[in-house]
Structures are given as structure tokens and as C-alpha cells.
């Protein structure tokens, strides 16, 4: 059984069908790339799965359990954590505090524990503090942990968004264009870090990206969307050669298909 299964998922915004009877399965432990040109419905898919939008029709199940209609925090507490396309962070808080919010579902510190501040709570808080430092170190931000988030360079802000999501120890991590605006070296380093962490922890990952090159080396499998419909699915090698995908990205050619400079 797949970890997450979307069946016949549709959502309309007025006359626009942003998702059109979409079927997607995400297998446990894999890194699935969801790609497609702008406006294909990639982010809408994440928004629907995370509970930000309600689908017009269709089902989404996590381990066989329906999650349509749940609030965002309920879906998050089931282990589906997403990041945002723009750097959505707690800008006026420190890096460490951002990561600390990510621990919300894992902290194990209850209301009365917090109020009383007993030694057990203090120990737990100490552990969380160390874990937060550890996560910031994974993304080479250890020296910035007390810096105000708004002052971070763009690349670090993108990384912090992912760090917060990882702090929540998700079963399914959904990354919405995590490398937007990064230069090539940054992209490579960041994607390698994400892959290393998620593979080590066995975190199932859904990666959205419209830049095909960025995802090819990192995904186990790729699903391609166009106009809310799935047009292709398979390994990166297969997707690269798929005519429909090339058409969706580059438009149709009148003459015979050019195999490209790679040949």
C-alpha cells in the first residue's frame, strides 16, 4: 500500500480546473518529484494535501486513512509537513526559535509542565535546544542560530524553511520549490543535504520543482503535471525521453523531433 494515495482529485477555482481527476501514489521512503510547467497545478496539489484548500472532489488517503476535510494542523499531526514556495518564516524571530516551533508536534512538553517549569521540563527543553542546534548545523547555519531570520541571506532562508519542516519529523515531507532563486552550486549542495537527511531518516519526500534539471539527479521517481492532469510518470531517465513531457515544456515542433545535443 502506498503511503499517500490521491484518487480522482479535482479542484476548481471558478472556471479553472487546477487539478483534474489526478491520481498520484507516493510510496513509503521514496523521493518523488512532481514537475511541470508553471500553472500545472503542482503547488495546488501540495495545498490540497496539506489541507490549505479543500478539493472539489476525490479522495486522499494516508496509510489508507482519509484525510480530506481535516484542518491543516490535524494533517500536520498525522505526519504530513510542507514547506512554502516563498520564504514563509517567522521573520522577526531568531533562527533557533523558528526551528523550535517546528518541534511543536514532537516536544512532549505539556501545558502544566511548561507552566511549572520543573526539572523534567527543563531537561526536555535542553534536549530540544540541542536538537535545534543540531538541525541548524546540518544546514551550515549553526553560527547564525541567534540571528534574526529577516537578516538571513535568501539561500539560508530557503534552507531554514526545510529545517523547520524536518524538525517536525514528518512521515511525508512536501517541499514546494525549495531551491527557487538559488545559484547552481547552492542548489546542488542543498539538494544533496536534503537527500542525505531524508534517506537516512527514511522520510518520504515529495519535491516540487519546475526546473527539470534540478530534480533529475535527486528523485527516485517523477510525476509530470500539465494543466492539472498527469501526463507522465516514471524514472528520471524515462521522463527525460518522454515526448509528451518535452512537448509540455518546449511546445510542439512542426518538423521531426530533434534528439538534441546529447546524442
Partner 1 sequence: MLKNRRLTPNMVLLVIAILLILFPMLSGNKYYLRTITTLAIAIVLTSGFRLIALTGQLSIAQAAFMGVGAYCSTLLIMNLGWNSWICFFLAGFAAALTAGIVGFITLRIKEIYFAIATLALNELFRLIWVEWDTLFGGPAGIVNIPSPDPILGIHFGSVVSFYYIAVLLLFSATAMMLRIERSRIGLIFSSIREFDTLAASLGVNLIWEKVKAFMIACFFAGMAGALYAHLQHFISPVDFTLMDSVMFLLYGVIGGLESVWGPAVGCTVMIFIPVGLRLIPNYNPVIEPIIFGGILILVMRFCPGGLVGLFQKLVSDLKKTESQKGEQEHAAA
Binding site for partner 1 (CB under 8 A): 50, 52, 71-74, 76-77, 81-82, 84, 88-93, 97, 100-102, 104-105, 107, 109, 111, 114-117, 121, 125, 164-165, 168
Q: How far is the CB of 104 from partner 1 (least distance, A)?
A: 5
Share of the chain residues as helix, strand and coil, in percent rounded to the nearest 5: 40, 25, 35
**12 DSSP β-pair partners:** 17
Task: Name the residue with cell 512554502.
Answer: 84
User: Shortest gap between Cβ of 157 and partner 1 (angstroms)?
Assistant: 13
Q: How far is the CB of 114 from partner 1 (least distance, A)?
A: 4
Helical residues (DSSP H) of 202-254, grouped into ranges:
212-216, 236-241, 243-250
Q: Closer to partner 1 at the Cβ: 149 or 187?
A: 149
Complex with partner 1: residue 91 or 184, whichever CB lies closer: 91
Choose between 21 and 97: whose C-beta lies nearer to partner 1.
97
Q: What is the DSSP string of 53-106?
A: S--SEEEEEETTEE-TT--HHHHHHTTEEE--SS----TTSBHHHHHHHHGGGT
Question: Which residue lies nearer to partner 1 by CB, 90 or 249?
Answer: 90
> 57 or 88: whose CB is closer to partner 1?
88
* Minimum CB distance to partner 1, residue 176 (Å): 11
CB of 102 to partner 1, least distance (A): 5
- Interacting residues of 241 by C-beta distance below 8 A, sequence separation 6+: none
In the block, residue with C-alpha cell 512532549: 108
Amino acid at each position: 500500500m502506498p503511503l499517500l494515495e490521491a484518487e480522482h482529485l479535482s479542484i476548481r477555482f471558478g472556471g479553472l480546473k487546477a487539478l483534474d481527476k489526478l491520481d498520484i501514489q507516493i510510496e513509503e521512503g521514496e523521493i518523488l518529484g512532481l514537475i511541470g510547467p508553471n500553472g500545472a497545478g503542482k503547488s495546488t496539489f501540495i495545498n490540497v494535501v496539506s489541507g490549505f484548500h479543500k478539493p472539489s472532489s476525490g479522495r486522499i488517503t494516508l496509510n489508507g486513512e482519509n484525510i480530506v476535510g481535516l484542518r491543516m494542523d490535524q494533517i500536520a499531526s498525522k505526519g504530513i509537513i510542507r514547506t512554502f514556495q516563498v520564504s514563509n518564516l517567522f521573520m522577526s524571530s531568531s533562527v533557533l526559535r523558528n526551528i523550535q516551533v517546528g518541534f511543536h508536534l514532537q516536544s512532549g512538553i505539556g501545558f502544566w509542565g511548561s507552566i511549572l517549569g520543573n526539572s523534567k521540563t527543563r531537561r526536555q527543553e535542553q534536549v530540544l535546544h540541542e536538537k535545534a542546534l543540531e538541525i541548524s548545523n546540518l544546514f551550515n547555519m549553526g553560527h547564525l542560530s541567534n540571528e534574526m531570520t529577516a537578516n538571513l541571506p535568501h539561500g539560508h532562508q530557503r534552507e531554514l524553511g526545510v529545517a523547520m519542516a524536518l524538525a517536525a519529523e514528518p512521515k511525508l515531507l512536501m517541499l514546494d520549490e525549495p531551491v527557487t532563486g538559488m545559484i547552481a552550486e547552492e542548489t546542488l549542495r542543498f539538494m544533496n543535504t536534503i537527500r542525505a537527511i531524508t534517506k537516512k531518516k527514511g522520510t518520504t519526500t515529495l519535491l516540487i520543482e519546475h526546473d527539470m534539471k534540478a530534480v533529475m539527479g535527486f528523485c527516485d521517481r517523477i510525476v509530470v503535471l500539465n494543466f492539472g492532469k498527469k501526463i507522465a510518470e516514471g524514472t528520471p531517465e524515462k521522463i527525460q525521453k518522454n515526448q509528451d513531457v518535452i512537448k509540455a515544456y518546449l511546445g510542439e515542433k512542426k518538423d521531426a523531433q530533434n534528439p538534441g545535443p546529447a546524442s
